[in-house]
A and B are shown apart, each in its own frame.
Chain A
Amino acid sequence: MIKKKITIKNSSGLHARPSAALVKTASKFSSDFFIHFYGYKVNGKSILGVMTLAAEHGAELELEFDGSDEKEAMKTITELIDNKFGLKDE
């Protein structure tokens, strides 16, 4: 199992569409993926789970991956969040 702290960078936070993008990407990996935030732990492959974190711009999340492709999954998800989910902010 590996863990990593990350900050949400896009202005609207983990909103419906960013959550959708996150879950879609996470579902491509076989590893389990959980997000820890403010004492909550949600399944990162569940869009409702991710949305209900209500993580806004600047929120610090801890990502947890567990499985055979955990490293690859962590790299891809980190890039997605850092690239603001490929959504235009403006």
Chain B
Amino acid sequence: MSKVESIDHKVISGISANSGIAIGNIVCINSNRRKVLPKSISETEVDTHLKIFKDGRSALLDELSGMLDYLDEQSGSIIDTQKQIVLDSEVEKRVESLIKNELLSSDFAVYKTFCDFIERLKESGSELFRQRIVDLENLRDRFIDVICDDDNSFSVKKGTILVTKELSPTELVSLHAEGLSGLVMEKGGITSHAALIAQSLEIPCIVSAKSATSKAFNTKGVLDGREGVLILDPEKELLDSYKSKLKKFKRAQKRLLDNINEPSETKSGTEFFLSANIEFESELNQLKKYNATNIGLLRTEGLLFSNKTAFDEQVWFYESVLSATEGSVTFRLFDVGGDKLNAKIPEEANPFLGWRGIRMLLDEKELLETQLKALLICAGKNKGRVKILVPMISVEEEIIALKAIIEELQNKLRNEGIKIDEKVALGAMIEVPSAALNAKNLAEHLDFMSIGTNDLTQYTMAVDRGNEKICSLYQQQHPAIWELIKITVEAAVKTNTEIAVCGELAGNVLGACGLVGLGIRNLSMIPNAIPRIKEELISHNDSEFNELAESFLAASNTTQIKKIFEDWRVH
């Protein structure tokens, strides 16, 4: 970074929207978006203009649908939303009224309609919503291009780094097909649609780069997505260092995919297990893609939300999950607050400190017993593969009470002559500080423990991550969290209890390395995190991980921990 700053007259900086390095020729487009002037039409032209609007709308919808092939699910849903906006009934009503009643041309009618909505959004003063303005302006301009049959699109040569005021998702996808290697935009935030699509297409991207189009000129350049800088006309030394970085990056990417089929072992030969967090059936096909045998966390709340809690419906869902893999599946019992159960239950003042998880389940016997019975029957049919995980345990009594219920149900099933798994594994989420601190006593009753770092962080740091004013305090990598994890691991070792981590920390490279350093071998994460975690874990030996974990525990804040990790990684 210091190298870059010293020559800041040739550097354009912004906010990193997607990491990665691009080296190529800069093309700078410094055009202003079109201005559409009011044009009056005669009464006889009204029908023609109504038709132009409708035809333009279907052409734009076709264009948007055509993009879906290029995109992953998340970016695809952006396009779906754009289609919905184009088809908006209010837009139709207003445009048609402007054409019919005010006798305005179709292009201006569309322009004015969108501008009215954009103005309202501008007035709202909310930063998150302001980012949507760029997206709406892009959609408006594309709509008008299509109506006027103007081809305002431009093409780029392979390897080009584009500097522009803004770009619509449609334009970005078509430029990507032509070989765009990097993107710098003056407008837009990291959640603007173009930025999200850049992430999906893996194009290095910088946003909010102030006056980039007036500073940039057409020359050779290096875009460092992670640092959020575009270096114009770099000196040879700098260029060479980026060339080798880029080479390394590309090699790493290839290795990442090759690694999927490699054995999961650290350099010292210690085996580790990366399993998947799954919530919906639609995610099950990712297990094969990322070579995950076990599901380390199956969320079952979806059944509650979609009202599929009847015994048969549950069995059907659990069986379909079990049939998607040969490995084990850790089923977490319904993890919700009581208000999700019944709209009549009044909202609590502090729902996250309230009647939820096991606290609610022990009171709602029928709900709990139906779920347990469904799981126990599936366990009987799939011996050794069903694990039951209990959310929100804060005291030992909760586990004792639950175990008694499970035992009773098992006895009943046995007496009815139904096949059961005598050794069905029972585990607790360690997500409340009291559970972590008391883990050695809890573990006596358990087959396994799974640390949920998301809630553990929320409860330890006393932070609601959804609250924008304080969300920076939501630090999963804070030394206090590492300390609680260490205490839990020690309890697991002492009682010979299996230990896993299923929170976000496990799917984070820094987190995974530290957790392995503490002796944890089972990490469960969103499936697409598996390749990069595996890449890191097979690249170091056990003593390196142990040293890392020890320095984490010795650190006094999260900034230090991040620094320690960066140094450790390049070392």
Residues of A within 8 A of B (CB): 10-13, 15-17, 19-20, 23-24, 43, 45-49, 51-54, 56-57, 78-79, 82-83, 86, 88-90
Q: Does B454 interact with chain A (Cβ within 8 Å)? A: yes
Which residue of the partner chain A has the closest CB to B504?
A90
Query: Which chain B positions have C-beta within 8 A of A12?
Result: 128
- For A10, what are the chain B residues with a Cβ–Cβ distance below 8 Å? 466
Residue of B nearest to A86 (CB): B305
* Residue B397, interface by CB 8 Å: no
Q: Say yes or no for B67: interface residue by CB 8 A criterion.
A: no
Q: Beyond A20-B81, A46-B89, A47-B84, list 14 extra A-B contacts (CB 8 Å).
A: A13-B126, A13-B129, A16-B81, A17-B78, A20-B77, A46-B91, A47-B81, A47-B85, A48-B85, A52-B121, A57-B467, A78-B343, A82-B343, A83-B340
Encoded as 1 (CB less than 8 Å from any A CB) or 0, chain B from 425 to 454 comes to 000000000000000000000000000001
Q: Which listed residue, A13, A43, A82, touches B90 by the CB 8 Å rule?
A: A43
Q: Complex: how many Å from CA A48 to CA B114? A: 9
CB distance from A23 to the nearest CB of B (A): 7
| Interface of chain B: mostly helix, strand, loop or mixed | helix
B117 within 8 A of A: yes
B241 within 8 A of A: no
Cross-chain contact A16 with B132 (CB below 8 angstroms): yes
A43 to B89, alpha carbons, bound, how many Å?
A: 9
- Knowing A17-B77, A43-B89, A90-B454 touch, does A48 contact B117 (C-beta < 8 A)? yes
List the count of A-B residue pairs having beta carbons below 8 Å apart: 77
A23 to B511, CA, bound (A): 39
30 contacts between A and B (CB under 8 A): A11-B465, A12-B128, A13-B129, A15-B128, A15-B132, A16-B78, A16-B135, A17-B78, A17-B81, A19-B81, A46-B89, A46-B91, A48-B85, A48-B88, A48-B136, A49-B88, A49-B117, A51-B129, A52-B120, A52-B121, A54-B125, A56-B126, A56-B129, A79-B343, A82-B340, A83-B340, A86-B305, A89-B466, A90-B454, A90-B504
**How distant is B352 from chain A, measured CB to nearest CB, in Å?**
12
Q: Closest CB of chain B to A5's CB: distance in Å?
A: 12
Chain A residues with CB below 8 A from B77, complex form: 17, 20
A82→B136 CA distance, assembly (Å): 27
- Closest-by-CB residue of A relative to B336 is A83
Count of interface residues, chain B, beta-carbon cutoff 8 Å: 32
CB of B339 within 8 A of CB of A82, answer: yes
Chain B positions within 8 Å of A, measured between CB atoms, are 77-78, 80-81, 84-85, 88-91, 117, 120-121, 124-126, 128-129, 132, 135-136, 279, 305, 339-340, 343, 454, 465-468, 504
Which chain B residue has the least Cβ–Cβ distance from A88? B279
B277 vs chain A, min Cβ distance (A)? 10
Q: A48-B117, A83-B340 are in contact. Are A24 and B84 (CB under 8 A)?
A: yes
A48 to B85, CA, bound (A): 6
Q: Which residue of B117, B340, B343, B466 has the most chain A CB atoms within 10 A of its CB atom?
A: B466
